Structure 1
């Protein structure tokens, strides 16, 4: 389970710098060809956003041949297990196929094993000499099964962006050696369990790089050692070691910019942004919510002109408003839109563009105004719910030549609305010029006790409150009447 939220990884995908350790790079040689193509897609698209510490490249070169030989050996061991047990072919092959469920071998090798089983089951009298001949596979075949060239091409691209060697590396190595000899811990993480100093140097280089760039950092590692991770019993998963986060905050200044993922979770998260299934991308990127966001403002730019034109020129909606406010009006003002909702969204693809069409509803407050004898005024206002069709488009930002996977551009373009109509109007109740209904007057509601004569006090009258001198006959001009 990932320790990074969707919102956090979305920010990393758009703005972040991705850093791999040696273990994660070497682990890629264990992937099948299909998985390797997935890796190639990710690295090809994100190559400008990937950076490797200098120490990672050094360790990778040192361990490369060892890992390669280990991957070749697993095929040789599997073949020898079959050849050396002629009386138990089915059991041996079935065991190997079970291991294949963990993607230990590639699809071509699995196909060969299944074909071998079919040969065994199709013969009534098994010719073990023939089976042994069938099972004999040359070194060339092993190399064919283990195609490491794709991984090599991937890594060649990302090794173009490697950091410089630390200037004070010697000092750091001496510091590390001294702390290990004294059995002390560095930044409270268990660095003393690390037999080599490579992880320590990698971490220091990550800190320095993070301080130089103003970007979110994602550190991808296949290492599960306690110097990087701490198991949280409450969450039931590993989390970045709190001491690393604390040191990052102290050295870089913003611990929120530091994130860690294991290799599996990283690839799984990337598939949500880079996928051959367009429908998956549209759903995960929440295109409908992006469209809603465009209209969820007080005066959405894409809607204002169309709504004004509709309210001004459509006689039907004007009649509805006048009937609702019980008055004629000269012109309207839009006082704001609110509560947009999407009824449906459909899409189609044309080359590198995805076109969206759908139906949107939104509420609008309309003020009815008049203009008379040089004066403007407001008569009343009412709420309407408008329905309309909308369309927009989104570009495919990148497409893989190997797998057909694509990445969608984040922005929506050419957002338009059309076919506006009123689907609801606020109901108002008016009671002008209605006849007097005596039944509405109840004499029993009059209570004489509510009138208190003592509330009137003649002494409240003060003649001094009236100033006759304020009256001036000259202020009145008979010609004005």
Structure 2
């Protein structure tokens, strides 16, 4: 029976070992771009594993195009981070010093405190400049990535083929056939012009999926492992909030199109973990890989905490901007949301406000708490005070929109806005 339903059964140890021995490895754009912002150990470990797979890596043209359109932004952001942090720290300390100087004619002796703050500012700036001088040349990182991939990049589709995929994608997305349908609304009007062609961004995942399917038909391709941190439900099967591997329909379609070959999907953390086991064949976790995995977990924790902290910044902004008010919603879902799913929630809501009112919203997760059966999230949105809203109809519309894109979540929204 397993042979008839390969998308719903886990692979055996022998099958995983064979998969790692013979597979072609495909890296999604999100993985390649994350290399620019990874901590040193995580970046180096990931690159070393990629180098060990050199010759077995192949990249769809769509992925390579997206990488080249965005890698310079990553370099700029990383290089600019030191300048921005030094400026922010200096301005904040100078602001405190100015407040202290205003007290110079009081009974408070401010001079020792001002000296301490100036000394601390100099120490921090020196340390930041020291760290900046030791950062790797990210242009060299680009060369290293290019060297690993080499010429193993797919060819671009002609305009006729792209239009065929877009037409097919419209019906696929309507029926929620993966991948890509989760991008339909979020990227509905986004286009990219490249090399004389217009690409519809909402079909980006479907285009590179088709390119993988085409490549899988080559005789030298035995099976494919995709490395991606895209955790939306049009890529990943989730049961009770837990990720259980690739969406079954992806496995079935790959199996049909490739005449019986296997497809598997790993996120970045799984890739490191199983490379240690199946590529390097180590019984215990390598120290470098263990550190790299912990760095990924730390990044995930930081992103979640950053979401929590940003709510207070939004509320402060609304206080300083009297033309804005805070719209507060309690959103209840069946299963705990990942960081990427939360971002998808934000994007869907933002698109709704843009389509309905012609204005986007700033938004962040304020609080998350788990109930015995379901999970609830409080979202806060600064919106223009003069925006005319009917809360009941607005909530009903947003509920319907979210449930369309997240059908397994049975989403309910309760308005907590004061006034």
TM-score by length of structure 2 reads 0.50
TM-score by length of structure 1 reads 0.44
**More helix per residue:** 2
**More strand per residue:** 1
